[in-house]
Each structure stands twice: as C-alpha cells, then as structure tokens.
Amino acid sequence: MTKFSDLNLNPKVLKAVEEAGYETPTPIQAGAIPPALEGRDVLGIAQTGTGKTASFTLPMITALARGRARARMPRSLVLCPTRELAAQVAENFDIYAKNVKLTKALLIGGVSFKEQDMLIDKGVDVLIATPGRLLDHFERGKLILSDVKIMVVDEADRMLDMGFIPDIERIFGLTPFTRQTLFFSATMAPEIERITNTFLSAPARIEVARQATTGENITQGVVMFKGSRKDREASEKRRLLRALIDAEGDKLTNGIVFCNRKTDVDIVAKSLKKYDYDAAPIHGDLDQSQRTRTLDAFRNGELKILVASDVAARGLDVPSVSHVFNFDVPSHAEDYVHRIGRTGRAGRDGAAMMICVPRDEKNLADIERLVQKEIPRIENPLKDTAPKAAESEDEAAPAPSRSRSRRSSPKSDEVSVKKDGPKRDGDKKESDKPSRSSNSKPPRERRADRGPEVVGMGDHMPSFIALSFEDRRAS
C-alpha cells in the first residue's frame, strides 16, 4: 500500500502531513501527486470528499519550497469558485506549509482591498483567489501574473455553472505559457473538456471513480411529497423536513439543509429556529464576516444544523457531517453529487435525504440518470398522522372562498337594492328610465312588428308623429 513517504514529498511537508494524522494517501492523491511533482499538467477527476485539495497543495508546497516571490508577482495561483472554498484551501496551506517559509494571500470578496494590496505588495508565493476579485486587483494595476509557475483550477465544473469560464480563459491568457496547470473536479462537462484540451499540455489524467458517482457509504433516500393545497405546500414541506430530522434522533449529530433559492434558505432557517432547532442560514447575500462566523460555529460543533444554498455545496470540508437534507431537488443534477458529498467524508458513514414535489420529478429523473441508479423511496413520516390545524405563522391560513361572483357580493347587492327600490318623484337619474328589456319581444321582432303596441311613445308623443305612422300603415 502506498504511503505519503513513498511520494517524494519534501521532508518538511511529510512532517506536517504526519502531524496532521495522515499516513496513507487517497486514490486521487496517490495518482495525482507523482506527475504533479514531475512538473506535468494534471487533470484529476474524483468524487467529492476524496482529498483533491491535498492532491495539489502538497506538490505545490514541495515545488515552491525553494525560491522567493517578488512584489506583486505571485509564484503560484489557485482559483476557486466560492469564498468558502478559497478560505478552506488557504487553511490547508497553513496546515501543510507550517514547516516551510512560504507566504500566501487570500483574495476574496467581502474583504478590504487595502489589506489584500498590502499582502500582494510584500510578495506572495501562493495566491488563492476567486476569479472576480483576482481580476479586480489586476485591473487596478496591483497584480502581475507573468511569474506564475503553477496554476490550479479547483472545482472546474462549478466554475462553469457559475459563469466563470470567460474569466478563467482571460486569466489563462495573463499567465505564462510555460506554467504547470492542475485541474481538479468531481464532474467533467464537455465545456470543461474543451478548456483542458486548449490550456493543458499532455495532461496526466487521473480518474479514480466514474464521473458523477456518489459514495457507497452514503445512505440515500427521497420522499415523494404532494401538499394538501397549493397555498399550504410550503408550510407542509417545512413540517415534513422537521419530521425527517426528528426521525433520525441521536443518529443526527449535525446536518446541512440545502435549498435552491436564497429566500428559501432564510425562511427554512427561521422556521427551524422557531421550533427550537439549532439552525442558522448561509448564502451568497450574507455579509462575509457573518458567513465566516456561521461556518466556524458549524465546524466547531456549536451549531447543529446549517441551512445553505449551493454556495456551501462545493468543496466545503466538515469531516463529521452526519446528514444532508435536500429541501429542494437540485435543478442541476451535478449539484446533487456535490451536496450529498458533504456527508460520508473520509470513509465515514453518512445519510442523505431529499424531498421531491411533483414539479421536481423531472429533475429527480435527471439525477438518477446521472448517477445511474434509482434513489430509494422512503416513507413519508407524516403519512399516517392527521393534518394539523394551522400552526401559527408556519401554517397557511385557509384562503377565502372565491365561489361567490361579483354580482352576489354584498356591495353589488347593496347597489341593486338602491336601483330596484321605490322611486321618488322628480328623480331624473338615468337608472329610473324604463328599461327596454322590459318588453317581452326581442328587439328585432319589435322592429319588424309595426303593430299598435309599438307605435305609441307615451302620453307626451307629439300628434304629428302618430299621424305619420298612420299614413304609412294606410299606404
């Protein structure tokens, strides 16, 4: 069996790895580290939670151990799709490079430009960044990428989903052609394949698992759910989520609840807290300091349930997550793989449950097609319980009946009473005029019939008009 000591890593890096408690590399690490140390381009494909971050951090630290960075000219570059993943990569460098004198800078949004500029001006060996913030610094003239020797793109397919591909291509153009490039991802879309063919030179392809596979140590299940009424579906779905959480009992040490929309993240977190669950939200619209505090509390065991959007689905490494709950079926099938990959990490057992409403059945079919297996259906824990009455604000109140027409509304009745009521003398409102509809014959028949009953125009008809009608009849 391969050990880290067999991989020709720097002795100081090996010492840090041993102190971190690791001896045996994962398959992706054992496959990617040797060609990366040789200076070859690497294309690594492995399901999430298999240690891809160490696959590039360890050879990078070994390669950069000698040399010194110049001001504004980083020697290596790591691109990540989200702030959280970038911060996590930075933490990995701190762990594995503690015995090596390397400097690093983290360029992410939500942090002052001034502090980041100060680090860049001193010169950094490792620059870890999100694409948008990196280009912001470059356009301000604070960064020169012509000395980058190693470039890493982490979670490349997530870059595609988030629309970063044009930025990635631009960044590639700003770095030297002779750089070493490492690509790592859990899935490999055709567009990513095109980029690797364009920017990687004869890469060593390491694929330790079929693309888009899920861990065998994760127990999966889906509840097929339909609300009793459309206006109650959301509240009943939140009630079902609470029932699923309760059903796990002591097996649930901590968990992540994923929602498709940021607004639902806030609503679900507020609902769980209302019912005394230890929960907090995290999504892209929150302030960076608040996102950091929430993640730290979850990692440290101070927070039991994290309600998140897909910002937390990719690369978030919390080794002891016991459960993942998909409140919504992901609209992109690949996101399902990354979401449930937050549990069952480092060989541990995990559980992933999902709630599927009728409109999401197509997305569920896409997921099952991607992972090439049917997700087991599980019983609705609320199936045998009678529907509860409205539960304060979390249950929708019955909607008012719409069966009553406008004519039968109280306001309309009041108007009709006024119209049909007794008339006063001298009331000259138009509504008091005799209605033509009071005549029993249809208008066309009245026009065709020239009988006496239609000749008269009332007591005030001028006599000459009557004479003209009589003359016409006589003729």
Rg (CA), the chain: 36
| Residue 313 pLDDT > 70 | no
DSSP secondary structure code for residue 278 in this structure: -
For residues 184 and 228, state if they share a domain.
no
Question: In this structure, are 383 and 468 located in the same domain?
Answer: no
180 vs 453, more confident: 180
425-451, pLDDT tens digit by residue? 444 444 444 444 444 445 444 444 455
In a domain, 291, yes or no: yes
Residues 253 and 379 both lie in one domain:
yes
User: Among 35-39, 336-340, 349-353, where is mean pLDDT lowest?
Assistant: 336-340
- Does the pLDDT at position 61 exceed 80? yes
Confidence band (pLDDT; 50, 70, 90) for 16? very high
Query: Is residue 113 helix, strand or coil?
Result: helix
pLDDT at 180: 96
Residues 8, 127, single domain; the answer is yes
Residue 310 predicted with pLDDT over 50: yes
Q: What is the pTM of this model?
A: 0.63
Position 152 scores a pLDDT of 96
Kindly state whether residue 405 falls inside one of the protein's structural domains: no
Looking at the structure, tell me whether residues 258 and 324 fall in a common domain: yes
pLDDT band at 370 (very low <50, low <70, confident <90, very high): confident
pLDDT tier, 203 (very low <50, low <70, confident <90, very high otherwise): very high
| 267: in domain | yes
CATH number at residue 354: 3.40.50.300
**Residues 277 and 158 occupy one common structural domain:** no
Name residues whose C-beta falls within 8 Å of residue 246's C-beta, 6 or more positions apart in sequence: 381
At 15 the pLDDT is: 94
Could you give the CA distance from residue 43 to residue 35 in angstroms, rounded to a whole number? 10
- The verdict on residue 241 lying in a domain is yes
Q: Is residue 155 over pLDDT 60?
A: yes
List the structure tokens of 57: 């951090």
How many residues are recorded in the chain? Answer: 475
- The larger pLDDT score, comparing residue 208 to residue 253, is at 253
Furthest CA-CA distance within the chain: 129
Tell me if 407 is assigned to some domain.
Answer: no
Residue ending a domain, among 184, 207, 230, is: 207
d(CA 223, CA 368): 14
Give the residue with greater pLDDT, 397 vs 85.
Answer: 85
Confidence (pLDDT) at 469: 52
pLDDT for res 428: 44
Q: Are residues 329 and 198 in the same domain?
A: no
Q: Is residue 418 assigned to a domain? A: no
CA angle 127, 128, 132 (to 5 degrees): 110
Could you tell me which residues are beta bridge partners of residue 42? Answer: 182, 204
For residues 459 and 311, membership in a common domain is answered with no
- Between 446 and 217, where is the model more confident? 217
Domain that holds residue 444: 439-475
Residues 252 and 373 in one domain: yes
Same domain for 197 and 228: no
Question: Does residue 361 sit within a domain?
Answer: yes
Our count of domains for the chain comes to 3
Mind listing the pLDDT tens digit for each residue in 230-252? Answer: 899 999 999 999 999 999 999 99
Q: In terms of domains, do 131 and 185 share one?
A: yes
Of 394, 417, 447, the position where a domain reaches its end is 394
Q: Is residue 119 part of a domain?
A: yes
Residue 30, pLDDT > 90, answer: yes
Strand partners, 76: 126, 150
- Looking at the structure, do residues 329 and 475 belong to the same domain, yes or no? no
Last residue of a domain, one of 154, 188, 207: 207
Q: Rounded to an integer, what distance in angstroms lies between the CA atom of residue 216 and that of residue 208?
A: 14
Q: Which of 187, 325, 163, 357 is nearest to 245 (CA)?
A: 325
**In sequence order, what DSSP letters do the residues of 350-368 get, joined into one string?**
EEEEEEE-GGGHHHHHHHH
The pLDDT value given to residue 110: 80
What's the rounded Cα separation, in Å, for the pair 367 and 372?
A: 8
Mean pLDDT, range 269-282, rounded to an integer: 95
Given a contact cutoff of 8 angstroms between Cβ atoms, the answer to whether 149 and 180 are in contact is yes
Query: Rounded mean pLDDT of the chain?
Result: 81
Looking at residue 112, its pLDDT comes to 86
- pLDDT at residue 403 in the model: 46
